[in-house]
Amino acid sequence: MAYDAPLDEMAFTLEAVAGLKRLEGLAGLEAYDPELLAPILDEAAKLARDVLAPLNQTGDSQGATLTEDGVKSAPGFAEAYAAFRDGGWMGLTAPEEWGGQGLPKALSLAVMEMFHGANMAFGLCPLLSFGAIEALLAHGTDELKAAYLPNLVSGTWTGTMNLTEPQAGSDVGALKTKAAPQDDGSYAISGQKIYITWGDHDVAENIVHLVLARLPDAPAGSRGVSLFLVPKFLLKEDGTPGTRNGVKCIGLEKKMGIHASPTCVMEYDNAKGWLIGEENKGLACMFTMMNAARLNVGLQGVAVGEAAYQTAFAYAQERKQGMIKGVDGPVPILHHADVRRTLTTMRAHVAAARSICYACAVAADLAESAADAETRHAAKLREDLLTPIAKAWSSDMGVEVASMGVQVHGGMGFMNETLAAQLYRDARIAPIYEGTNGIQAIDLVGRKLSGTNGESMRVMLGEVEASAAAARATNDPQLVQIADRLKAGADALRTASDWMLEQMKSRDQDKALAGATAYLELAGDVIGGHFLTKAAVAARTSDGAARARRLALAGFFAETALAAAPGKVASITEGGSRFLENSEALFGV
């Protein structure tokens, strides 16, 4: 596999579109210097290109294996993780007091895009560790932080998230894993968890499991769930791993993709664990971890989409087929208009999704570190609004773009040994885990839109309209045309948002929820178009090639995705109604 991170695009998106400069000098981010941006991205790109990418296809074909001694990682992955750990990448955003570097989440997100793009199965390991660190920082006791954070931050140990059980998927309140209080203040954890990413492996010295379980007297449902820290190895007095805890992997899931990422069935047999946060408040603690994971999963869509584009573009330059006027003999398929259109669609949607994810990360940084409460509050509203869109729109995009990559390859793309096929198989999980995309749509409508009475979306739409006005003010004919499309898209999203609010205020909310997925798709289209327009305007001072490229992407997106936006309103406001009215005829219920 050949993967070269689009460093110029990433840096430009961070600075000119997402607003990374707003983070300079903020409390907790004092270590960030804009001069660090280029060298950090450069070094991450080398690790992605030279170490992780060469293992991607071999990891897919050979995968992780379960032995009597536990899970053995795919060949080369332990050495690759050592390079990742020794490079200090795990602690990029962690506080300096715990051995981290205190840099912005947005910068770390760009770094992780490269690692996911080069090798998504590898990138899943640190993804869960990032979430474990955030959960401990927010909810752990001082004793747990001191015992576990330094090694998690250094990457010496890794973290997991244990939610799902055979009978409890999205309905976490149905879980049955038990936690029995012990005389020493610990808890005995017993039960089974499934779909645990990197639940066991041999790349790190210890694994720190964050496990949802139920206390003996806990209330029913999600209100009776608590969160526990359960290490693979119990710690000795000097803080190093000691005896094996009562937790092990009893099976590896057989998946359609991400074969090198061990997805484990975990068995807890009176394993010793410690409470994180308050009793019966575990779901609130876990959401700290899940929100971080959701943004990173959206980023996986960006990363795999970028890899699929690069792979398809390289193939389109090499594969000769068909004739064109003025050229003797077969020509590279890149010369055919439909292939170029497909590649442009891939590239434009990846760029839009990258912007959404990076902007969400900058908002998360501001929500924690901005100097005044008003800015922190506004940033939190923006982070909350963009998180379900970043997760769902971007991961759906990743699947669709990977599918387009297969199409560019033609019959060769359907062969399992090709990278195009692997990327498509790998990408398909992203719309499912960390909350299915249907749940993200319901969250967008039910909490993020209705929870603020539409205020967070109104502020977002004000910025979208400002981008349209800025594009129009340039008097550049192409930007004026883009502005028209963007303004029409903003009007459509405003109409759909107002309708959604009305429906959610009614006693019968099924109409709104039936249109929620279509609403999220429209929101992603319009907000993505806003960021591409913002990029095109900002690039007017760039060199000729960069300016032309960003203008071309924004223009193409405007005349395809944004041009369709007004027509999508009816699918939101009427599609759900027609579906509900005919449910009995369709399903007999």
Catalytic residue positions, numbered: 434
Tell me the pairing of strands 65-67 and 70-72. Answer: antiparallel
Contacts of 429 (CB under 8 A, 6+ apart): 255, 256, 257, 258
Tell me the pairing of strands 233-235 and 206-213. Answer: unpaired
* DSSP string of 134-195, one letter each residue: HHHHHH--HHHHHHHHHHHHHTSEEEEEE--BTTBSS-GGG---EEEE-TTS-EEEEEEEEE
Residues 495, 499: Cα–Cα separation, whole Å: 6
* DSSP string of 194-228, one letter each residue: EEEET-S-SSSSEEEEEEEEB-TTPPSGGGG-EEE
Contact between residue 296 and residue 127 where contact means Cβ atoms under 8 Å apart = yes
Write the CA distances from 429 to 189, 290, 297, integer angstroms.
Answer: 29, 16, 9
Residues 522, 565: Cα–Cα separation, whole Å: 6
Q: For the chain, first and last CA: distance in Å?
A: 49
State how far Cα 140 lies from the chain centre: 24
How many residues can be counted in the chain?
589
Q: Which residues of 216-239 are buried (b: 16+ CB within 10 A; e: fewer)?
A: eebeeebebbbbbbbbbbbbeeee
Question: How many C-beta atoms lie closer than 10 Å to residue 326's C-beta?
Answer: 6
DSSP state of 18: S
Contacts of 450 (CB under 8 A, 6+ apart): 500, 501, 504, 505
3-state SS class at 32 = coil
Give Dmax over CA atoms of the chain in angstroms: 85
Here the tokens at position 414 are 């359907």
